[in-house]
Structure formats: C-alpha cells, structure tokens
Chain A
C-alpha cells in the first residue's frame, strides 16, 4: 500500500513537470524538442547531463538546452540516440549575460557548487541583490533574453579592479529530469 502511494506521488510529480514543460513549449516562440535526462556527471569535476535523444532526433552539437524556469546548458556531443549537455554550472562554461534592470554586462560561469558567478563587472557596476540575470545578445551560442538566475551576493574581486556577483540559477542543476532543446 505504501509502495503504491509512493508510486502515485511520483506519477503526480512527473505529470506536473511534464505539464509545465508542455505549457512552456506551447507558449514559447522557439522551436523546441523535449528530452529526458538518463545520466548525470560521472565525476565531481564536471557538470554535465546525458539525454535520451541524439542525432536521430536532429539534436546537434552547439544547441541550447533550456527548462521552463530558464537556461540549463548546451549540447557538447551528440550521437545517434544520446547527447551530452554541458551545464551552465560547469566552470568551463562562459555565458555572456546582462543584468535585466541596469543592462550591466558580465560573464556568467559555473562554480561546481549550487551557484554561478558573474565576473568582470566594473567597480561602479549597477548591480544589487535580487537583480535578474539573463543572456545577452553578445552571446554567439545562446539566444538573447533567456533567464539565468537571480543575484544573491555582490563582492569585490581579489585584484580590487572588478566586482563579481553570485547568481542563484533559476534551474537547480541537481534536480533536472526533463529538458527542452532549442532547434535553430
């Protein structure tokens, strides 16, 4: 009985997730393909996902991966039936971004923790806690205006020349189960 209840809760949760994914897909002007996460990073030094769709579903390297809440990452490798996603949480990722309110530009990269870091902000940058960070039009890979997260802390670089902002991602990388891939 308890097992059945557990199964039922799981189905309800999955249903809710898929509903929000479908809602986003229908409302969005972008061409999207849904995929399921079948694997996560095999080690602790990188942040990536393995999806159940690949070249046979027209998924190619360089495509952007999003969720209903915001940006997730990009496809770095694709084969016939699976593809690898490098999450924005990976330190090797760099996303050209702007603060939505003040239009201040910066580079968001991963930290391998739950948060991201927005670097190269000038000393007089207009950024405050609670500001929303989105992708900028300067990005060659990511479409403009995708939600990245919210600023939760602002600090000064060790050199004293720049400031940085800690960004809480809109999508928790540890809890992603389904994603949407943007088709060009």
Chain B
C-alpha cells in the first residue's frame, strides 16, 4: 500500500473544502472532507501512521482558519485515538458501523468547535448552532463512502 499519495489526497480535499461551490452547500453548510479522511485512515492504516495523518489533516484545516488555537489538530488526533480504541473493542468491518462512527465523530467534532466558539464569547443563535451541528454531520457521512473509495483507489 502506498502511503505518500494520502498527503496529496488530503491537500486535494482541503482545496475542495476551501473552494466548495455555493450550489453544493445546503443551508450554507459544507461537509468536513478532512475529518472523513482522518476517520477512514484509522480503518485503513496502522494506528501510528493514521495518527500522523490525523495530525497533518488537523493542521491543514487549522492553517486556513482565523482562530489562534489549533482546535482541529487536537481534535483530529483525539478522534483517531478514540476510534482506534473502539476498533479494538468492536468489529468495524461492517460499512454501516463505519458510517455510524463517522456520523458520531462528525457530530462530536462540530459540537466541540461550536462550544469552543461560544466559550470564546461569540454569540451564535440556537438555530444556527443546530444547523451547523446537524447538516454538516449528515453531509460528511453522506460523502464518506465516496472518500473511502477514493482513498482505496489512491493508495492501491
């Protein structure tokens, strides 16, 4: 399995996320492609390599954000570690189980970032908070099989 193309895939996904076309957004929300890739890599690679790529994807996301705290870098590594722990407890061979894990991780990731923003003093209405929590989560999970196939193809 080739590992270096994953770096290019992460950069391509980050570019896609940065220039996500308006007609592909739902209620001004876009999917978190880098998070989906991070989760896929835990299923697909050995733990240490997946952790390194989680760090890379998190950094890549944080570089393009105006925030000073690298929240995504910390969270992506944390999710990688937690998913790895989970895979030692339950079988994640089933696609629906993987989809469920992505859904939960995307929801938790959005929730933590939202709470960090609220904690920093930003006023976000409940409707916008729920919108940013639910729609990107479903959108990310919906694109998960596509990114999974892409990762398989790229690394084959």
Contacts and interface: CB of A to CB of B under 8 A. Distances in A.
A11 B154 CA distance: 35
A120 to B, nearest CB: 12
Which of B61, B113, B122: most chain A Cβ within 10 A?
B122
Interface residues of B, number: 30
Contacts of A84: 64, 66
Interface residues of A, number: 26
Nearest to A76: B66
A23 interface: no
Contacts of A44: 28-30, 110, 132, 135-136
Interface in B111-128: 113-114, 117, 120-125, 128
B35 to A, nearest CB: 9
A43 B142 CA distance: 17
A45 B19 contact: no
A122 interface: no
Contacts of B72: 43
Nearest to B109: A43
Contacts of A38: 19
Contact of B14 (A41, A42, A76, A117): A42
Interface string A80-92: 0000101000111
Contacts of B19: 38-40
A112 B124 contact: yes
B8 interface: no
Contact of A175 (B22, B113, B117, B121): B22
Contacts of B124: 91, 111-112
Contact of A43 (B32, B120, B121, B135): B32
Interface of B: 14, 17-20, 22, 28-30, 32, 61, 64-67, 72, 110, 113-114, 117, 120-125, 128, 132, 135-136
* Closest 8 A/B residue pairs (Cβ): A91-B122, A39-B18, A42-B64, A44-B132, A76-B66, A112-B128, A44-B29, A45-B113
28 contacts: A38-B19, A39-B64, A40-B18, A40-B19, A41-B65, A43-B32, A43-B65, A43-B72, A44-B29, A44-B135, A44-B136, A45-B117, A45-B132, A46-B67, A46-B117, A48-B65, A50-B64, A76-B66, A77-B66, A84-B64, A86-B66, A91-B117, A91-B123, A91-B124, A92-B122, A113-B28, A114-B28, A175-B22
Interface of A: 38-46, 48, 50, 76-77, 84, 86, 90-92, 109, 111-114, 117, 174-175
